[in-house]
């Protein structure tokens, strides 16, 4: 029969596991939302940067699954399941720290990576349909034109004409096509970068909160494992 202290630790661990599972689902949800809402901008961001939401979804699903071991181990007082949970939770925790460090390092060079992608997609604008569609969507949704402004399209379009998505409204008495005179002056790179920066802060906040819950859960799981082992040794 478990002592009062052991019972208390057991149910605290169980509650922490539920919070751990919810945090995993939260990571999964945040990753899915970023992927669904901003995946169409992937042409303008390096592939290894854009895999971050997918990795978050995988980590979130793994966390939710691992918590099943913790909850069952706590309720059934199974030291083997608790130990397995603690080890897997530590692996996930270290993985999240590694992802956080990698994300911080990559973020410092994000603007340069994005500028390279912007230049590449612009250079092949007329050759690839997916690049044309991506630029049209980007410029329409963000109300912007070019990488840093309309002049970036020089050499792509003749006679100072631009992509129609660069102009919100064209006065037909002045021009039949979108030109630099009617174009939106603000570039797209800084606008998209600010959006990604804001989402990065949200992701960082979520991961930090989840890491705190995970660390607390791991500590309680280790205490519970020791208590189970001591209980079995006395039997």
Q: pLDDT 10s digit of each residue in the chain, 235 long?
A: 445 566 776 777 777 777 777 877 777 787 787 777 777 788 888 666 667 777 777 877 788 778 777 777 777 777 787 788 888 888 888 887 777 777 677 667 778 888 899 999 999 998 999 899 999 999 999 999 999 999 889 888 877 778 888 887 765 455 567 888 878 889 999 998 888 877 777 777 777 777 777 888 788 778 777 776 776 555 4
Q: Can you give the pTM of this predicted structure?
A: 0.68
pLDDT, position 76 = 75
CB 121 within 8 A of CB 44: yes
pLDDT, position 147 = 92
Instruction: Give the SS3 label for residue 70.
Output: helix
Q: What share of the chain is helix, strand, coil (3-state, %, to 5)?
A: 75, 0, 20
CA 45 – CA 107 distance, rounded (Å):
11
pLDDT, position 5 = 60
Give the number of other Cβ atoms within 10 Å of residue 25's Cβ: 15
**Closest by CA position to 106, among listed 22, 27, 31, 47:** 47
pLDDT, position 172 = 46
CA 1 – CA 10 distance, rounded (Å):
13
* Tokens at 15, concatenated: 């509650």
CA 165 – CA 137 distance, rounded (Å):
8
CA 188 – CA 143 distance, rounded (Å):
8
> Which secondary-structure segment (H or E) carries 40?
none
Helix 52-76, helix 189-234: angle, nearest 10:
20
Backbone angles phi, psi at 154, to 5 degrees: -60, 130
Q: How far is CA 203 from CA 28, 89, 100, 149, in A?
A: 11, 20, 10, 30
pLDDT, position 235 = 47
The distance of Cα 106 from the centroid of its chain, to the nearest Å, equals 13
Burial-class residue 178 by CB neighbours within 10 Å (0-12, 13-18, 19+).
Answer: buried
pLDDT, position 144 = 92
CB 22 within 8 A of CB 60: no
């Amino acid at each position: 029969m478990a002592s009062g202290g052991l019972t208390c630790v057991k149910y605290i661990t169980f509650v922490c596991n539920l919070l751990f599972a919810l945090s995993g689902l939260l990571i999964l949800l945040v990753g899915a939302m970023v992927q669904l809402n901003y995946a169409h901008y992937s042409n303008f961001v390096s592939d290894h940067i854009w895999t971050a939401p997918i990795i978050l979804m995988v980590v979130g699903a793994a966390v939710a699954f691992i918590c099943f071991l913790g909850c069952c181990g706590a309720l059934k007082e199974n030291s083997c399941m608790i130990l397995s949970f603690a080890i897997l939770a530590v692996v996930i925790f270290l993985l999240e720290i590694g992802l956080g460090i990698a994300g911080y390092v990559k973020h410092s060079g994000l603007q340069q990576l994005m500028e390279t992608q912007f230049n590449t997609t612009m250079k092949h604008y007329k050759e690839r349909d997916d690049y044309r569609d991506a630029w049209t969507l980007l410029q329409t949704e963000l109300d912007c034109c070019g990488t840093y402004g309309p002049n970036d399209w020089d050499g792509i379009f003749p006679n100072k004409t631009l992509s129609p998505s660069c102009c919100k409204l064209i006065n037909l008495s002045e021009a039949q096509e979108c030109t630099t005179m009617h174009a939106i002056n603000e570039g797209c790179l800084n606008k998209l970068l600010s959006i990604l920066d804001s989402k990065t802060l949200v992701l960082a906040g979520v991961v930090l909160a989840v890491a705190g819950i995970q660390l607390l859960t791991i500590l309680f799981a280790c205490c519970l494992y020791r208590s189970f082992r001591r209980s079995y040794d006395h039997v």
